[in-house]
Amino acid sequence: MSGATGGAVTRVPPVDLGRQYAEIRDAARDVFDRLATSGALTLGDELEAFEAEWAAYCGTGGAVGVASGTEALQLALIALGAGPGTEVVTVPHTFIATAEAIVASGASAVFVDVEADSASLDPAALAAALTPRTVAVVPVHLYGRPAAMPAIGEICGRAGVAVLEDASQAHGARLGERRVGALGRAAGFSFYPTKNLGALGDGGAVTSDDPALLATARSLRHHGSAPGDANRHVRDGFSARLDNLQAALLRLKLRRLDGWNDERRRLAMRYRERLAGLPVRPLPAPPDGVDQVHHLFVVELDERDRVLAALRARGVGAAVHYPTPVHLQPVWRERGHREGEFPVAERLAARVLSLPIFPGMTDAEQDHVVDALADAVAS
């Protein structure tokens, strides 16, 4: 395996991007040389090719490359009609960007709690959160596991509300035969470097089957320009393109995504076996037909912060995703949110711990994590 280290393991990083880069290094250097020399750095052929390949991979009619995952969500929301006076529903147990994109669209964010097992949007709480002002619901496929899309889709379908997937942690995950990105009206992906498919910098994409939505996102990312006429501006837009260079690098990595996700699956299964008997609860595997891609491997446990400190002292790059639910962040408390509103999200925030998992991680590294965790929970 590319990242194998000789000798006893004393340190395990949370992720090691150098091991991924080693697999594409020669091709990446060629790409850099070619594009830097030609000067084709924005809105070029590589971007168009990546968009076609990403749409084909996800099984959607199209994809639009944008500058980040946050902007993918923001632009898709605007294309769906979000703006001042509208509401968009999402979860408090997610990265802040999900809620931030809603605010950036001009809409108000409305939170609903998550389920304890999937850590994703609880369909049972959804209907009560919809109002005549709701234009979209944004479930998050957190940690690489698809949210409860059939139930969410049914509730939203009945209410005439669009579903926008936050797919930033679930590149390649499947629900039956369909991939994440093709499970709602549209999806927003992040290609932040540490995601399952990551650029060497920031990037994102909107996927959808809806040509009008894709055209609006395409216009919004480039100053509100008209199709085929970059000097005609038909709406207020943004400077939010995916760089041609990042698109070219993403094309190289996309060919390896399935293999890398398989490595994550193998490591996750091995964690489950090796953690059995310890007083930690890996988040349960999803039901049959739901395939997850283990962006993170998350366990729930008592005394999380003490165990985290003990792991760090043993060189284990464990982390918490996320220690504070969105509604209890200072910026959201200012909008009137308080403790106790979303008990499941608040309980998870206090109890979850992410163990290192990344393509190229060795069994010896994983064993070091498990040994350190076993010692920490026993002390």
Ligand X SMILES: *Cc1c(COP(=O)(O)O)cnc(C)c1O
**SS3 state of residue 239:** strand
Token code pair at residue 89 = 């529903």
> Which CB sits closer to ligand X, 203 or 360?
203
Residues 140 and 101 sit within 8 Å (Cβ to Cβ): no
* Cα→Cα distances 298→10, 17, 260, Å: 22, 20, 18
User: What is the rounded distance in angstroms from the CA atom of residue 207 to the CA atom of residue 61?
Assistant: 8
Amino acid at 90: T
> Which CB sits closer to ligand X, 70 or 366?
70
> Which CB sits closer to ligand X, 134 or 196?
196
Residues 186 and 164 sit within 8 Å (Cβ to Cβ): yes
DSSP label at residue 22:
H
> Which CB sits closer to ligand X, 261 or 368?
261
Q: Which residues pair with 290 in a beta bridge?
A: 175
Listed residue (12, 9, 7, 17) closest to 359, CA to CA: 17
- Contacting positions for ligand X (CB under 6 A): 68-70, 94-95, 97-98, 140, 166, 168-169, 190, 192, 202, 204
> Which CB sits closer to ligand X, 126 or 170?
170
> Which CB sits closer to ligand X, 119 or 268?
119
Spell out the residues 6+ positions from residue 2 whose beta carbon is closer than 8 angstroms to its own. Answer: 19, 22, 23, 360
Position with the least CB separation from ligand X: 69
CB of 80 to ligand X, least distance (A): 17
CB of 204 to ligand X, least distance (A): 5
> Which CB sits closer to ligand X, 74 or 216?
74
DSSP H/E element including 140: none
CA atoms within a 13 Å half-sphere pointing along the CA-CB vector of 376: 26
Return phi, psi of residue 98, to 5°.
Answer: -60, -50
User: What is the rounded distance in angstroms from the CA atom of residue 66 to the CA atom of residue 202?
Assistant: 9
> Which CB sits closer to ligand X, 93 or 222?
93
CB of 327 to ligand X, least distance (A): 15
Listed residue (334, 311, 66) closest to 205, CA to CA: 66
Return phi, psi of residue 157, to 5°.
Answer: -60, -45
